[in-house]
Amino acid sequence: MKILNFGSLNLDNVYQVPHFLQAGETMAALSEAVHPGGKGLNQSLALARAGADVYHAGVVGNGSELLTNLLKENGVHDDYLLHCDCTQGSTMIQVSPKGENCILLFGQSNHAITKGQVEETIAAFAPGDYLVLQNEVSCLPEMVEAGARRGLHVVLNPSPFDDSLRSLDYNQIRWIFINEVEGHQMTGEIAPDAILSALRAKYPALCVVLTLGSAGSICCTPEKTVHQPIFRVQAVDTTAAGDTPANASNPWLMPVLLVVMVAVFYFVMIRPQKKQEKQIAEMRDSLAVGDEVVTIGGIIGTVLIIKDDKIMIETGNDRTKLTILRSSVKTVLKDEDEAPAK
């Protein structure tokens, strides 16, 4: 299983300030720093650190070395990341002493993605892979449509929310990660249960992670609904937390959408995939003469000879002998298994 993240990469210009600027005000910043950022970058890094096989696609501009080097250092594939002679996407972020932030986003290179790039990139991935999206890049509707057509599991963080998101076909999307404000914008409802009920009624197959500020988050799938309380932390900077504090008097009570997203990916997708891969490897390593096996191509046969990474099987009424790779064995039939006709 591969994860393709078609997402934004930004240079975050962060200014620590005594308070947020007011109209007509000039104020000296307490400090200034440039950090790698962007929803897409943050998600790719978190998923890669959780053990996922992540490919980041998009466009970077001039002065993007900080971003591309960070992807490589964390094992994120950049095969589908294009470079253009343009201004790199960036943000200007004010951070208050309480850790609250005010962000001005300038998309630039993130809006240089074309329909051709989308089609070519998604065509390189297989049905069953995952496509992670956010609303900080161009061609989002084309990404959703192409991903669904290719058979990818489409995962969307519809943020920043705008009217363009209302025209998406959410029946083509497998997972969405939203906060209460975005849930209200999508459904017109305010209460969390009402938001989830409205989404479930309109899109029965959609899986939803709804973050609730100090109340934690809810993961709702067609099979079950799970509530996850928050982990209390001292806020330093809420940038990239995925949501704002639910209570300005308690800024350290905040949901971390990125952490929730990675947790869902890990326990629902990555962990089961790794467990399955381990079981398949153990099965292939333990193959023995006499085992009845089924190959990836659907051929059923009995193992005659095993030598390193190759095995010889006998199949069919005419007892045809075939030499195949050990890695092409899909499963070993047990006595109780009902094998199809050879």
**pLDDT tens, position by position, 227-238:** 888 776 666 555
Per-residue confidence band for 208, with pLDDT thresholds at 50, 70 and 90: very high
Same fold, 3-277 and 287-333: no
pLDDT at 249: 32
pLDDT at 262: 59
pLDDT at 114: 96
pTM beyond 0.85: the answer is: no
Q: Is 293's pLDDT higher than 50?
A: yes
pLDDT at 316: 87
Q: What is the pLDDT of residues 16-44, one digit of tens each?
A: 999 999 999 999 999 999 999 999 999 99
Q: d(Cα 252, Cα 232) in Å, to the nearest integer?
A: 7
pLDDT at 273: 67
What angle do helix axes 65-73 and 39-49 make, rounded to 10 degrees? 20
Q: Where are the domains of the chain?
A: 3-277, 287-333
CA 121-126-127 angle, 5° bins: 120
Give percent above pLDDT 70 in the chain. 85
Q: What is the pLDDT of residues 57-71, one digit of tens each?
A: 999 999 999 999 999
pLDDT at 34: 93
- Domain 287-333: give its CATH architecture: Roll (2.30)
pLDDT at 251: 35
Cis ω before 192 (30° cut-off from 0) = no
In the predicted model, what is the mean pLDDT of the chain?
A: 86
**CATH superfamily placement of domain 3-277:** Ribokinase (3.40.1190.20)
